[in-house]
Structure 1
Amino acid sequence: MTNSQHKPNTITLITGASRGLGKSAALHIARRGGDVIVTYRSQAAEAQAVVAEIEALGRRAVALPLDVGNSNSFAAFAEQVQLALAQHWQRERFDHLVNNAGVGLGASLMETTEAQFDELMNIHFKGVFFLTQKLLPCMANGGRIVNISTGLTRFAMPGYAAYASMKGAVETLTHYMAKELGPRGIAVNVVAPGAIETDFRDGAVRDNAQVNAFIAGQTALGRVGLPDDIGGLIANLLSPDNSWVNAQRIEASGGMFL
């Protein structure tokens, strides 16, 4: 294709986009005419497959390695983003940031180790805070940030005390981001998925029939969520139609535990 055909509507950087919710969001964005920077921690082949799917939709994409749990790597990653923008788009800034990357570590309050706590903190809160800080200089004014939380900040289930607490911190951080970035015209929202059929927590919701049936029975719409339920919402939040939505927690759980 010619450069004019590749001219992007928007460029969205999505962390953890080689699979699950991040992959779904990337493909929904591409279908709406946006280009995507995909990050991955170790699944390079899967990330390149996502890039290929986006290119098959007529959009442009690039995959970059990133460990969101290692804040010492963020400055070098920001340089890689700037290099990719220059090489692939001839631009200096991207438009949207989706802080999606995460891990599922479940343990009761009494069983949670400091190592588990620190890993969750580094990935789910410290990573979001400092990665956003490092990337803001190469984000365009008038852009959007979407952070990912969880329904577990509204309802409590045993085994998620540390994980949900980090996500609660992200929800508070979202308000502060929106306030401080308002002068740049950057809107910041947080999406809180309910239980989704992914490989999160070793695919427990997707692969365990009893868990799946229990959650479906506790959800007003009568089923467990799918990645596209969240990917579509994220893409929608980034569309021009939602430019006035700011500092909001948007739960996408199908009406779970009402």
Structure 2
Amino acid sequence: MTADTAPRTALVTGGSRGIGRAVVERLAGPGRVVAVHYGRDDEAAQATVAAVRAAGGDAFAVRADLADEEAIATLAARVEEGLVERTGDRGLDVLVNNAGVGCRADITDVTGADLDRVFAVNVKAPVFVVQRLLPLLRDGARIVNVSSVANRIAHPHVLPYAMSKGALEAFSRSLAAQLGPRGITVNTVAPGLIETDFHRARMRAHPEDAAAAAALTVFGRLGQPEDVADAVAFLASEQARWITGERLETTGGAYL
């Protein structure tokens, strides 16, 4: 890691849209390479890569279904190949586990399939992504896991999702303790409701819901992907070298 506030190389899972894309663009810049993982949307991934290159940085897209453990092994191999091709070195400075899936279900209708899917992507995938990439992570690297306010505030209508984020945060703390001797920090960012493409359509269809969500924050507005990306970038920087095993909530003061 250099004294620069942004890393030289990074991988962002779920990096083609929403919060992930904002994180990619925030970490990118001249002399930096960002691997953009995505699940299905080739067009969005290539648009993100193009935006990074237009801003003077470098990026490459890697497609993988994070619900498939074998695909995670392929992801790690392709990230390594891409880094070596662009930098001559396989070293990775920052890993942002952002990819995740939601699940609307409460205790009356949650199914085994619901739990299997959400835990596969939101919990098992970050565990095995880290495991596969440990040989690439440099000493002093940064790992940032993206959780949710749903882990702190009761949200019974998204029970499986909230449970998965609780597990992710437990993983972050244990991982921070294990990787500390290498100078690797592990922290969690926990957003509230963010106006991504997914939520924007619903908010436009139901403006009363948007107004209610904005009113929950102390600033009276909905969170934007860039609000979360700036927090991730801080935890990925040299300035956050003495912070590990922590949870940084990015909710605009909602649910105080």
TM-score by shorter chain over 0.5: yes
SS in 2 for 1:221: coil
Amino acid at match of 1:189: N
Question: Do the aligned partners of residues 152 and 186 (structure 1) sit closer, same or farther apart at CA in structure 2, a change above 3 Å counting?
Answer: same
SS in 1 for 2:101: coil
1:190 corresponds, among 188, 191, 200, to: 188
Find the aligned partners of 1:57 and 1:44 in 2 and give their Cα distance. 20
Q: CA deviation at 1:12?
A: 0.8
Find the aligned partners of 2:98 and 2:251 in 1 and give their Cα distance. 17
SS in 1 for 2:228: helix
Find the aligned partners of 2:15 and 2:43 in 1 and give their Cα distance. 12
1:164 corresponds, among 162, 165, 180, to: 162
Q: CA deviation at 1:239?
A: 1.5
Q: CA deviation at 1:34?
A: 3.5
Q: Are the counterparts in 1 of residues 12 and 98 from structure 2 also a CA contact under 8 Å?
A: yes
Question: Do the aligned partners of residues 207 and 15 (structure 1) sit closer, same or farther apart at CA in structure 2, a change above 3 Å counting?
Answer: farther
Q: CA deviation at 1:115?
A: 1.0
Moved over 6 A (4+): none
> Percent identical across equivalent pairs?
38
Q: Are the counterparts in 2 of residues 145 and 189 from structure 1 also a CA contact under 8 Å?
A: yes
1:170-209 alignment runs, 5 A limit: 170-200=168-198, 203-205=201-203, 208-209=206-207
Give the match for residue 104 of structure 2: 106
Q: Are the counterparts in 2 of residues 100 and 147 from structure 1 also a CA contact under 8 Å?
A: yes
Q: CA deviation at 1:157?
A: 2.2
Which shows bigger deviation, 17-26 or 62-71? 62-71
- Answer yes or no: is 1:71 the counterpart of 2:69: yes
Give the match for residue 38 of structure 2: 40
Amino acid at match of 1:229: D
Point out where structure 2 has 5 or more consecutive residues left out of the alignment: 1-5
Give the match for residue 3 of structure 2: none
2:212 corresponds, among 214, 227, 243, to: 214
Find the aligned partners of 1:99 and 1:203 in 2 and give their Cα distance. 25
Question: Do the aligned partners of residues 87 and 61 (structure 1) sit closer, same or farther apart at CA in structure 2, a change above 3 Å counting?
Answer: same
1:21-60 alignment runs, 5 A limit: 21-31=19-29, 34-60=32-58
TM-score norm. by structure 2 comes to 0.93
Question: Do the aligned partners of residues 32 and 213 (structure 1) sit closer, same or farther apart at CA in structure 2, a change above 3 Å counting?
Answer: farther
Amino acid at match of 1:220: V
Give the match for residue 229 of structure 2: 231
**1:149-203 alpha-carbon deviations (Å, 9 max, x no partner):** 1001111123111101110011111011100001111000000000101134684
Give the match for residue 241 of structure 1: 239
Q: CA deviation at 1:51?
A: 0.7
Q: Are the counterparts in 2 of residues 16 and 101 from structure 1 also a CA contact under 8 Å?
A: yes
Length, aligned pairs only = 251
Q: Are the counterparts in 2 of residues 25 and 228 from structure 1 also a CA contact under 8 Å?
A: yes
Give the match for residue 86 of structure 1: 84
Q: CA deviation at 1:83?
A: 1.1
Question: Do the aligned partners of residues 203 and 141 (structure 1) sit closer, same or farther apart at CA in structure 2, a change above 3 Å counting?
Answer: farther
1:254 corresponds, among 229, 252, 255, to: 252
Q: CA deviation at 1:84?
A: 0.9
Find the aligned partners of 1:68 and 1:83 in 2 and give their Cα distance. 19
Point out where structure 1 has 5 or more consecutive residues left out of the alignment: 1-7
SS in 2 for 1:223: coil
1:9-24 alignment runs, 5 A limit: 10-24=8-22
Amino acid at match of 1:145: I
Give the match for residue 114 of structure 2: 116
Which shows bigger deviation, 49-58 or 74-83? 74-83
Find the aligned partners of 1:230 and 1:94 in 2 and give their Cα distance. 22
